Amino acid sequence: MAAIVHGPGPDAGRLARLLREAGRAEHDYLPEERVAGYLSRLAHGEVECLAAVDGGTLGAALLYSRFGPVHPVPGSFLRLAGLYVEEVVVTGDWRRSGWSRRLLARLREIEGAGPDIYIDCDAANGASVAMMRAAGYVRVTDYDDPDRTEPPSRRRTTSVFRQPGRPARRPEPARGAVTIG
């Protein structure tokens, strides 16, 4: 049985091979410069890794980063912060065995109930969209994503999903306020 490891993660060579293999998969084109960027950011502590390893074989990995607070609307109270899942990659031999969902669940265990978690995928990848919904993620928006297509003439729409965090404690009503519900 594979173990999920959080921390320094696999060596850069094994992770690079996994990213390249996954980048050739049906919906997940990853250009070489993006692979190099992930490895550099991981080395500098800007990205964290969860890796599924079985007997020294790296079969799946999840790369994520922290962001925020971001104030997307100047002057408003809207404040975004949380975790962004950069990539979930699984080898061909380990696909369709629930590794993406297990890694996402482990991320929630490690980080706790507080932060919102954001992730995206190709809107045409029905298996990924269904997995995210089953894992409690809600579709937030879709956008055209020409940087993630191969060949460049193919159109890609990327769907962004969010799994809301839970407040650390239930907010108390203001003194004298009446609560309904």
CATH, residue 104: 3.40.630.30
Asked if residue 92 is part of any domain, the answer here is yes
Domains in the chain: how many in total? Answer: 1
Q: Compute the average pLDDT of residues 58-68.
A: 93
Asked if residue 168 is part of any domain, the answer here is no
| 8 Å CB contact between 125 and 112 | no
Asked if residue 28 is part of any domain, the answer here is yes
SS3 148: helix
Nearest Cα to Cα of residue 162 among 125, 117, 105? 117
pTM, full prediction:
0.83
The pLDDT tens digits of the residues spanning 143-152 come to: 998 776 666 6
Asked if residue 26 is part of any domain, the answer here is yes
Q: What percentage of residues in the chain have a pLDDT greater than 90?
A: 40
Give the confidence band of 112 by pLDDT, cuts at 50, 70, 90.
Answer: very high
Domain membership of residue 88 as a residue range: 3-163
